[in-house]
Amino acid sequence: MESRSSDSSFFHQHNMLMEMQQSLRIALDHTQRQSNSHHQNHPESSTMGRKFFVGGNWKCNGTTEQVKKIVETLNAVEVPSSDVVEVVVSPPYVFLPLVKSLLRPDFQVAAQNCWVKNGGAFTGEVSLAKMSNSSVLGVVTIAKMSNSSVLGHSERRLLLNESNEFVGDKVAYALSKGLKVIACVGETLEQREAGSTMDVVAEQTKAIADRISDWNNVVIAYEPVWAIGTGKVATPAQAQEVHSELRKWLAAKTSNEVAETMRIIYGGSVNGANCKELAGQPDVDGFLVGGASLKPEFIDIINAATVKSA
């Protein structure tokens, strides 16, 4: 009797152990499925090694002497290594060869715009393919003078009536010529107040997505028009919200890989005082800087990359 009781107790304990193991496996499987689902629906949860990116858009500013002084300042300062932050400056066209020849090698140079064709009767435009023949710009090609190009900036969209489709054509053309592209998107104040921010940003991005399949050389700059040159700046929460939603859009319309690896940077009255808090947002991968890129505080903005690497 005692033996049978002992055997019964053993089998009872064994069965309980098996049930516990089965319950544990079910719980682990459920947790894994939830994790996978969250990863698919929220690609922003992982930075995927996105290197911080800081671009300085000098716009239509500077004389030769002023440009030389800016470059001298940039060359003299200590900033995080190129493993931590990618720095690009975008001077006016006429200064591209000068800046390229003087600027430190760990910083890159970008054009502010490019024409969408090889050349022809397009007065005032600059063709990437024909730049190598220009005595004004020297004998190097744009790909050597400039590693990348800023395209779709709100000032060109609004002042020069560049459509989403035209910007998309420019992006595709620049990529076909071997350039990297900083593609700008963003809404006006009226569009934000109407609650259509993401509709606008998605439409602008779709015009690019319709024309390219390889996103490896693209950085997207979210620049709310109402914050550019106005002194107003999107709050960190506002910037994070748009960047996160844009990343979700990329996941749905392109791929999870594109969404997770895409650097989405913020532009709009970024300065030395607000850059660190903005950089602390999980989906803010850097900045496109306007007026502050002409000032010493541009160094503070570059150094904000340490927020991500800390």
Contacts of 150 (CB under 8 A, 6+ apart): 55, 57, 90, 110, 111, 112, 113, 182, 184, 221, 288
- pLDDT at position 228: 81
The model's confidence at residue 86, banded by pLDDT at 50, 70 and 90, is: very high
pLDDT at 299 over 70: yes
Residues 87 and 75: beta-carbon distance below 8 Å: no
Rounded to whole angstroms, how far apart are CA atoms 91 and 183?
17
Radius of gyration of the chain (CA): 25
pLDDT at 20 over 70: no
Give the residue-averaged pLDDT of 262-271: 96
Between residues 266 and 137, the one the model is more confident about: 266
Backbone phi, psi, residue 155, to 5°? -65, -35
| Of 16-20, 133-137, 296-300, minimum mean pLDDT range | 133-137
Highest mean pLDDT among 21-30, 148-157, 231-240, 281-290: 281-290
pLDDT at 262 over 90: yes
| Of 42-56, 130-144, 202-216, minimum mean pLDDT range | 130-144
- pLDDT at position 38: 42
pLDDT at 145 over 80: no
Reference 150, options 195, 92, 94; nearest CA is 92
pTM score, two decimals? 0.80
The mean pLDDT value of the chain amounts to 82
Give the residue-averaged pLDDT of 100-109: 95
Residues 200 and 191: beta-carbon distance below 8 Å: yes
User: Residue 108 corresponds to which tokens in the numbers above?
Assistant: 């890159």
Residues forming the active site: 153, 223
Q: Which residues on neighbouring strands pair with residue 218, listed in sequence order? A: 181
Q: Cβ of 178: how many Cβ atoms within 10 Å?
A: 12
Give the residue-averaged pLDDT of 289-293: 95
User: Does domain 50-309 fall into CATH 3.40.50.2300?
Assistant: no
- pLDDT at position 36: 46
For 192-246, how does the pLDDT look when each residue is reduced to its tens digit (9 = 90+)? 999 999 999 999 999 999 999 999 999 999 999 988 877 888 999 999 999 999 9
Using CB atoms within 10 Å of the CB of residue 226, give its burial: 0 to 12 exposed, 13 to 18 middle, 19+ buried. Answer: buried
- pLDDT at position 188: 92
The model's confidence at residue 118, banded by pLDDT at 50, 70 and 90, is: confident
The model's confidence at residue 152, banded by pLDDT at 50, 70 and 90, is: low
Handedness of CA 233, 188, 186, 174 (dihedral sign): negative
CA distances from 285 to 9, 14, 86, 172 (A): 61, 53, 11, 23
CA distances from 47 to 221, 262, 310 (A): 17, 9, 14
The model's confidence at residue 29, banded by pLDDT at 50, 70 and 90, is: low
Domain layout of the chain by residue ranges: 1-41, 50-309
User: Residue 113 corresponds to which tokens in the numbers above?
Assistant: 């715009």
Residues 218 and 285: beta-carbon distance below 8 Å: no
Find the helix packing angle between 236-253 and 197-209, rounded to 10°: 40
Between residues 154 and 34, the one the model is more confident about: 154
Residues 136 and 99: beta-carbon distance below 8 Å: no
Long-range contacts of range 193-199, CB-CB < 8 Å, 24 or more positions apart? 197/224, 197/242, 198/242, 198/245, 198/246, 198/249
| Of 23-27, 68-72, 175-179, 246-250, minimum mean pLDDT range | 23-27
Reference 247, options 285, 190, 275; nearest CA is 285
The model's confidence at residue 309, banded by pLDDT at 50, 70 and 90, is: confident
Rounded to whole angstroms, how far apart are CA atoms 29 and 143?
50
- pLDDT at position 134: 32
Contacts of 309 (CB under 8 A, 6+ apart): 52, 80, 84
Using CB atoms within 10 Å of the CB of residue 162, give its burial: 0 to 12 exposed, 13 to 18 middle, 19+ buried. Answer: buried
